[in-house]
Amino acid sequence: MITYPPRNKVEKKYTWNAESVFKSKKAWDEEIRSILADLESLKKFKGHLSDSPATLLEALESTEQLLKRTSHVLVYASFSYAVDTTDQEAAGMQGKAQTMFGQVAAATAFINPEVLQIGKSKLDEWMRQDPKLALYRHNFDNLFRKQEHVRSGEVEELLGMLTDPLSGVSNTASMLTNADFKFAPAADSQGKKLEVTQSSIHKILHMPDRAARKSGWNNYMDCHVEFKNTLASNLATSIKANVFYMRAHNHESSLAASLFENNVPVEVFHNLINTFKKHLPVWHRYFEIRRKALGQRDIAYYDMWAPLTKKKPSLTFEQAVDMICEGLAPMGADYVEILRNGCLHERWVDSVPNKGKQNGAFSWGAPGTHPFIMMSFTGEVGSMSTLAHELGHSMHSYLTWKNQPLAYSDYSLFVAEVASNFHQAMVRGHLLKTVTDKNFQIALIEEAMSNFFRYFFQMPTLARFELETHQRVEKGESLTADSMLDLMADLFTEGFGPKVKVDRPRVGMVWSTFGHLFSDYYVYQYATGISGAHALSGRILRGEKNAVEDYLGFLKAGASMYPLDVLKKAGVDLTTPKPVEETFAVMESYIDRLEELVS
């Protein structure tokens, strides 16, 4: 049986630089106590923001510094837990950090209602008097845009206090699936056993041995099916919380409420879904090409990652970094050097699979920390691409933090997936031109299609699931494990088309493998993100004038503009279906090339 090392056996250079955030867990604990003690200092501002421009500015700057410290506490706790979910101390730290965050949210909830009471005309006058206060102009404009949905200070304080208890279901689901689930081992066609964990399942699904893929997938999903009622209850509670917040803030729907936060019209969501449904025949063609290339009579969910060549390229972490840097050379020497140094010297990346490590990959940090990455690098082209993806997030964070004040340092999820998919598009564009080995080209296109399968197939399908489940709750209908399972199975059956075998009980529980669903209407942004990414990378790969500068300007803008506006300035308009159509065209070109290579 292939097993993975315990956390304490992972070589330090492949772990995230935790000590750069806090020297020890004791120092982290002391900071929590200090933050909670400092909440008292905010009380002097309550009821006095309208006293003078100086008072308002001092309150805003004090709150920002407190939130910055809070974010460091959250990053340290969450990363400590993510890299080893079996570490009970780390699990306790995450819970403690979330509780603290709820207290901070409640203590600062008075600010927005009081700013609104000052009034826009008076604020405009104050900003003319004080350039430092004028820094917050976009935030003020955004706040007044949201005015009709902001409740009184007392109500907003209560809503802030609900942050901690209502966020608990996400943590419960994570603890269940990442720490408590014990999966039966997979077995290959020779009877060799393979350990199934959250860190290893994707490696098993990438194996050429179909017996290993099938048994690994079945055993992995059977755990989710076994606990379908608990998992469904958790997600249903999260959806009910979303609907509660929607009603508390007087929005017409949970979709409108979620998109309103970033000033994104609901038409952007519906444009995506309609364009996706229109292009389902493209996916059906790909699935059939994949079936023929694999030489199988049928194809199932667990075959979507199966290699189409017997000679799989293998890469070290360092080689992957080199390839990524080469692909991003058009971005300039400074950009590449920052990225390389982060990967190889500053320890941005926690890359080695280990027991208890959380499934998936993500980039996270805060102003004053490195933009850290958690992933499980397995030496395949797909792992290289995942690293490129997360480094896109990290470089977005790095350049935002370097060029924007704290007020605009937290860019939205809507633009986040543009930067990550941009990296992958650039690296693929370079490698498809420079590496002539047929097996590498097939592996690279497989990686591209695997990424498209996730972002341009699974995510839109999950977005349809999310919309329907929310609408049912909004209508007062109940959500049960079986109704959610049937809905998911129906949507995937439609998406896969007539030639893919759908195991309804297991495929119907796929939603439970995506923790993204606990972030309201997050998943659709992967599909809009990959669309924006290909539109922007296409400009650079075609050598369009100012394309690099426009893209760097997008990364540096952070939250200083509305997401759609900052993307328009960079050269892509996501209020129309055009970028989605363009990206389907890119995907079709990969499918054409793949069909030629494997024919």
Distance CA 130, CA 472 (A): 49
* Cα angle: 273, vertex 569, 274; to 5 degrees: 10
Residue owning tokens 């970033």: 262
According to DSSP, the β-strands at 362-364 and 372-374 are antiparallel
According to DSSP, the β-strands at 193-194 and 372-374 are unpaired
Distance CA 48, CA 55 (A): 7
* CA-to-CA separations, 43 to 34, 108, 152, 597, in angstroms, rounded: 16, 9, 17, 67
User: Hey, is 181 helix, strand or coil?
Assistant: coil
Distance CA 135, CA 278 (A): 44
Q: State the greatest distance between any 2 C-alpha atoms of the chain, in Å, as a whole number.
A: 77
Residue owning tokens 């939130």: 67
Residues in the chain: 599
- Catalytic residue (choose from 157, 390, 417, 447): 390
Q: Which residues contact 227 (CB under 8 A, 6 or more apart)?
A: 176, 181
Torsions phi, psi of 6, nearest 5? -65, 160
390 is catalytic: yes
Q: Which residues contact 250 (CB under 8 A, 6 or more apart)?
A: 148, 149
User: Hey, is 299 helix, strand or coil?
Assistant: strand
Q: Which residues of 210-227 are buried (b: 16+ CB within 10 A; e: fewer)?
A: bebbbbbbbbbbebbbeb
- Catalytic residue numbers, as ranges: 390
